[in-house]
Structure 1
Amino acid sequence: MPVFFSLMFEESIAMKGSLKADILTSMRPYSISSVPLMDAAKYRDELMILAPHSLLKCSSDATTLGIRVQVRSVYIESRSQPLKGKFFFAYRIRITNNSQRAVQLLRRHWIVTDANGRTENVWGVGVVGEQPVIFPKTGFEYSSACPLNTPNGRMEGDFEMKHIDKVGSSTFNIAIAPFSLSILGDDNDAPL
């Protein structure tokens, strides 16, 4: 009996290998190696180079050293003048301290890029006139705005912070992940 089962097992393995090869061959037209999908991947990569903001959502979420930064942007039609090339975007930031130490936000740095690829670096002290202290398991929220000369763009940057529990603590940067500024918004227009 054991020889019989051994032969059946080997035959089963051989059939499985053959069946797998048949399935893979039949799926080849749908694989990434097929021409339409290769073209789609190439066009996606080209789009990322030509218009990186177009593949971003109007929100982002990043955590650095236990500090979470969530952003949501919206187009403000009432403050915009499209015929004059003036587009106004508001954004809401939520900073949550999930670390064990209190931090203070000292400075902000934004990299704003319009649809033509023009980039502007913006540095400033604090946010909305404050240098907030954010204790563990608490957060800070604020809203601000960004004018653009194009209907789309992107923002990203960082916050410079320091721990406040020791005098002379070194500063560190917390990432603000890239997000889109778009007159079209995106599928997730829910608030933060």
Structure 2
Amino acid sequence: MVTQITRGIKISVDTSYQPEFSHPENDHFMFAYKISIENLTDSSIQLMSRQWNIFDSNGSHHHVEGEGVVGLQPVIEPGTYHQYVSGCHLKTDIGSMKGSYFMYSLADGERFEVEIPVFHLIAPYRLN
């Protein structure tokens, strides 16, 4: 698991390879990631949008942007967290992702960026 705190917002990421949804013979490797967004500040925030940079070990790169996460723009109260699970497929069995969430402070209307730490996507058989 990787964790990073930006402006009092703690992002933790845990990943897993999904062999039942992967087809290595077709260069299709599926990974799931579980993200926890914890509000360590004293103000409510709302996650408005996100952007991802996704890298395969073959050098390819994809940039993805969109509103919210898995169809939601959650409000996260002070001292609470929001968790979700999503996934991505790669053309190789090793890759990485990093990105940002764009937040809105309900207290003062400020919009700010929270960094999602780099996390690696590695099929477990590559670690042997």
Give the unaligned 5+ runs of structure 1: 1-58, 188-192
- Aligned-partner Cα distance in 2 for 1:171–1:186: 40
Secondary structure, in 3 states, of the residue corresponding to 2:20? helix
Give the unaligned 5+ runs of structure 2: none
- Aligned-partner Cα distance in 2 for 1:86–1:140: 29
- Aligned-partner Cα distance in 2 for 1:170–1:98: 17
Identity of aligned residues (%): 36
Among 115, 119, 122, the alignment partner of 1:175 is 115
TM (normalized to structure 1)? 0.64
Q: CA deviation at 1:170?
A: 2.7
**Alpha carbon RMSD of aligned pairs, Å?**
1.5
Secondary structure, in 3 states, of the residue corresponding to 1:83? helix
- Aligned-partner Cα distance in 1 for 2:120–2:26: 21
> With CA pairs under 8 Å and 6+ residues apart, which has the higher RCO, 1 or 2?
2
Among 100, 104, 113, the alignment partner of 1:158 is 100
Question: Are the counterparts in 2 of residues 151 and 182 from structure 1 also a CA contact under 8 Å?
Answer: yes
For 2:122, give the aligned amino acid.
S
Among 20, 28, 49, the alignment partner of 1:107 is 49
TM alignment of 1:21-170, pairs within 5 A: 59-166=1-108, 169-170=109-110
- Aligned-partner Cα distance in 2 for 1:176–1:106: 14
TM (normalized to structure 2)? 0.95
Give the paired residue count: 127
Q: CA deviation at 1:74?
A: 0.5
Q: Which has the higher strand share?
A: 2
Secondary structure, in 3 states, of the residue corresponding to 1:78? helix
For 2:119, give the aligned amino acid.
F
Structure 1's consecutive aligned runs of 4 or more residues displaced over 2 angstroms after TM superposition are none
Deviations 1:89-128 (A, max 9, x none): 0000001000111100000111100001211110010001
